[in-house]
Chains A and B, each alone.
Chain A
Amino acid sequence: MSVSLKAKIAEVFEEPGCDKNQGKSEKERKKGCTKQLNPGAAAGGCAFDGAKIALQPIADVAHLVHGPIACEGNSWDNRHSASSHSQIYRSGFTTDINELDVIYGGEKRLFKSIREILEKYDPPAIFVYQTCVTALVGDDIEAVCQRASEKFGKPVIPVNAPGFAGPKNLGNKLGAEALLDYVIGTVEPEFTTPYDINIIGEYNLVGELWQVKPLLDALGIRVLSCISGDGRYNEVASAHRAKVNMMVCSKSMINIATKMEQRWGIPYFEGSFYGIGDMSDTLRQIAKLLVQQGAPDDLLERTERLIEVEEARAWKRIAHYKQRLAGKRVLLITGGVKSWSVVAALQEGGMEIVGTSIKKSTKEDKEKIKEIMGDDAHMIDDMTPREMYAMLRDARADIMLSGGRSQFVALKARMPWLDINQERYYPYGGYEGMVELVKQIDRALFNPVWQQVRIAAPWGDDGETLGAVQPAAKPLDFLATAAARSLGLEPEEVPV
């Protein structure tokens, strides 16, 4: 690993905003907190994945992956952070290196790729992502990017987070470091207002930011930049002029918030857009901090009035569902901020949480879960798919909310499932999103299909199609079995 990357990772782990870190000695803190991954029992993305996820929503930028085809060929076009302007971020750019590049180095190909992108697409900037193989052979992407920036007069930003550096969460932070080192503070906004804020760690999945932004607009609060959902390069570059930072996804990019506080004195708070109460709290916090930073006092009052109107409307719209969903038990398998922010939202919908995963949650997240759920919080550290399956098959939960990869655990157990992660089709942000969430849960739970798929096959093998791998029963056996069943006996009890 290059010296600069090592230094960067150490720096990320210095994070003063992390309470886990504060409990450690200085020596321990330097060791960092990346868990050693367990070969053969690991899942989830890598550091490159994390960096790409964090930065790709900056929509007018070309994101160029320097590595073999696996890194971009297998992953592009997987996540949909909606954009209201440029679509270039949805294109996959990769150097797709070959054997000769591995042997002689891929720097020339990288440089040429940058030139090709600028000539053909002319984006305001290019982000260049390091990957395992090109890091291993020693391609110096920082140097290539610097040279390309000088030569072409456009920002070319190196993102040094090769996959083997660690897990996805580390990659989020390394991506954020690239913004801190090369982007934020390099452009001055055309004008500023006392109502300028940044939103950090919000990726505008399925357009969730747009469910929230009208509320801010109505209050006259300007989102100077969202890092990085629906982002524009120049907005992110001028983020240092905001008055307040809001952190959305717990800790994924906390280093941006803490460093912006150190460098430009911008206070930050952590909030959630999920659930009625949390959305209101978030609006209050923004208003309070803005007023502290010099915005006119009347903002507080206007905010309260807006909250009152919006809450009343939201409660009215979910009343019908609340009745139907009362007491329904939910198994929530997700990570980070959603392990508590969605819990609150589900409870508002009248549902019971039989378990929430805390695999990727911080200590603060866990505190919040306890606060919301009381002492008997069903926190699940690491549930295997088999355990989830058993829980659902035994109907200890009525529905599972999780990401797409574990959906079949629920579906094969013939239980309802709703996507709560990045591949979902429905936005759940703000008051609007809460209504949508409750509506979707209702839709999933009460679909008559569940009765259908649970009907047992009349010939007794429960409709399973395992016959494909098991020898089919002989017709005689089948008749004997049917005869036995009709007499109320188990087939074994009947001599054939």
Chain B
Amino acid sequence: MANVVESKKACAVNPLKMSQPLGASFAFMGLDACMPVMHGSQGCTSFGLVLLVRHFKEAIPLQTTAMNEVTSILGGYDNIEAALVNIYKRAAPKVIAICSTGLTETKGDDVDGYIVTVRKRKPELADTEIIYVSTPDYVGGFEDGYQHAVTAIVKTLVKPLPVRADQVTLLPGSHLTPADIDELREIIEAFGLNPIVLPDISGSLDGHIPPDWRGTTIGGTTLEQIRAAGASALTIGIGEQTREAALALQEIAGTPMEVYERLTGLEVNDRLLQRLSALSGNPVPAKYRRQRSQLLDAMLDGHFYTGGIKVAIAAEPDLLLAVGSLLHEMGAELRCCISTTKSAAHALLPAEQVLLGDLEDLEQAAADCDLLVTHSHGRQAAERLHKPLLRIGFPVFDRIGNAHRRMVGYRGTMDLIFSIANLMLENMDHHHAGDWPLTPEALRAATTTSARMADVTVTAGSCSTGSCGGCAPSNPTDLAEASV
């Protein structure tokens, strides 16, 4: 529905977008015993690492090929080889996942070719899977990087296998949290189905305490699970960004696919549960029937605070669609929608327009809005505009527990509704005695006769509480004299 407009500005102010390699690295975080590597200069990795750490409050394995000016110009083969060997020696990961950056793409490094050469020259790496994905910084954003990385994982590792009727592959979008993934796994398993989650950050970024120090990811989809995805009876993707990987699975293993545009909201979840029921031959469990009923009640309770509010929202396409649609369903008006890149998801958004822009655009359009919705960087705009901010997406660095915030399924939708409603409640304007002053005309009309005027004076003076500033005697000496 929404019309997509691209910003005409030369300069992005307060960017909403983050880079492709960061999104790709994030996807690789969901593979077990994996070490993601950014092929670029040190800073590329450092910036991404800091953001991931601040959002998840977790140790993040992320490495760099540490390109310098000479290797940038001559080509990064030596750095790739050295990085692979060093990582293998230090952390012995099962998977090393490389993403390119703007620097190495500009130079035009042929990483696919490099990997072939490394394989020949370094037999010790034979047991280590190497995945490569091209993610130039100057194209797309976080979600695009994630999308290409998941596709690269599928293309590198999945092979066709005989179909298992009770197995499904779940492709979560990058906007889902570890708690979201756990929720979906639980739902699928409740139907007696076995999900393979790809990638699965719920095992690696969910904030558990491992018994030992590991230099790599501490959980996630194992190599065996990824390979087994070739046997799934169905691929379920969450978010438009998973379509590419779902199609790749279809091509490789012939797996039928279904991409759900979102799983935040009532109707989409109904659809999912029905589908799972049909696939498994089992009825929807009582637990979810009850949760559905609870969600309905939550929507009823919540709509008082969301109905009619004007919202300015800035997020990556799939997240924008998920949260924006729910807000719309809860009676809010999507007055200003900002996103990062083009996506088929924008067509489904119940808003007039989506601007591919930045947080400056959000701030400028939000003057008459009641609520800002975006990542933590929006807090500066929210402070300046004195408006409540609902933090969603990545990064959220000024809140803890991001891994456990749930936004999908009936329960997750309910949680999100409560967050929004409570935020509106918290920021509700309190009225004061002076909020409804009479107009001068009305006052004059009320005080034209001297008798009426005397009445008014007496009334004002008779205020005994003194708590209302409006009727305190204007001259303190009057009071002093009166009390004498």
Contacts and interface: CB of A to CB of B under 8 A. Distances in A.
Nearest to A36: B68
A389 interface: yes
A39 B65 contact: yes
B79 interface: yes
A132 B76 CA distance: 14
A46 interface: yes
Contact of A78 (B12, B50, B68, B137): B50
Interface stretch (A163-171, A199-207, A217-225, A342-350): A163-171
B138 A68 contact: yes
Contact of B22 (A67, A70, A99, A114): A70
Contacts of A48: 43
Contacts of A98: 138-139
Contacts of A462: 211
Interface in B86-108: 86-87, 90, 101-103, 106-107
A102 interface: yes
- Using C-beta atoms within 8 Å of the partner chain, give the interface range for chain A: 35 or more
B213 A133 contact: no
Given A69-B138, A98-B138, A40 B37 contact: yes
Contacts of A164: 41, 67-69, 72, 103
Nearest to A66: B11
A412 B137 CA distance: 33
Interface stretch (A88-96, A182-190, A325-333): A88-96
B13 A92 contact: yes
Nearest to A87: B380
Of the listed residues B40, B57, B138, the one surrounded by the most CB atoms of chain A closer than 10 A to its CB is B138
A136 B103 contact: yes
A87 B78 CA distance: 44
Contact of A74 (B47, B59, B139, B222): B47
A68 B213 contact: no
- Using C-beta atoms within 8 Å of the partner chain, give the interface range for chain B: 35 or more
Contacts, number: 250
A48 B84 CA distance: 25
B21 interface: yes
Interface in A31-52: 36-49
B48 A77 contact: no
Given A164-B72, A405-B50, A42 B17 contact: no
Contact of A40 (B46, B82, B138, B360): B82
Contacts of A180: none
A112 B10 contact: yes
A182 B443 CA distance: 63
A72 B15 contact: yes
B203 interface: yes
A221 B18 CA distance: 44
Contacts of B47: 45, 49, 70-71, 74-75, 78
Contacts of A463: 209
B120 interface: no
Contacts of A73: 12, 15, 17-19, 141
B19 A42 contact: no
Contacts of B360: 91
A78 B54 CA distance: 9
Interface of B: 9-15, 17-19, 21-22, 32, 37, 40-51, 53-54, 57-59, 63-69, 72-73, 78-80, 82-87, 90, 101-103, 106-107, 136-139, 141, 202-203, 206, 208-211, 213, 215, 219-220, 222, 360, 376-377, 380
6 contacts: A40-B64, A77-B380, A94-B11, A102-B136, A166-B68, A405-B49
Q: Which 8 A-B pairs have the closest CB atoms?
A: A46-B43, A40-B83, A113-B11, A40-B86, A68-B137, A70-B19, A112-B10, A37-B66
